[in-house]
Amino acid sequence: MHVISRKILREFCEAHADVSDTLYDWYRVATKAEWKNLVDVQTVYPKAEAVGNFTVFNIKGNHYRLIVDIVYSSQRIYIKYVLTHSEYDKDKWKDDPYF
């Protein structure tokens, strides 16, 4: 999978150093993956789930959420948001026009 944009991960990690190793581990796994559907994703990340048009990953023991748009046909992952659990619960990310 081609992950776009790593910059979002990098910026989030600068502000939340405690999650940087976990997010970079996710990035390494995702870039080597050849997921065809959500079931494939869930073989590696069982708690990943589809929410609207996005896929949501629980990161670092459910303290953070990684929200992405996966286009399986082109093998691309668009990173939309990385949020703390409390930011995620506010649901502002659901205002995204692609949601």
Report pLDDT digits (tens) over 38-65.
Answer: 999 999 999 999 999 999 999 998 899 9
pTM: 0.91
Report pLDDT digits (tens) over 9-21.
Answer: 999 999 999 999 9
| CATH homologous superfamily, domain 2-93 | RelE-like (3.30.2310.20)
Burial 61-93 (b: 16+ CB within 10 A, else e): eeebbbbbbbeeeeeebbbbbbbbeeebeeeeb
**Domain range annotation of the chain:** 2-93
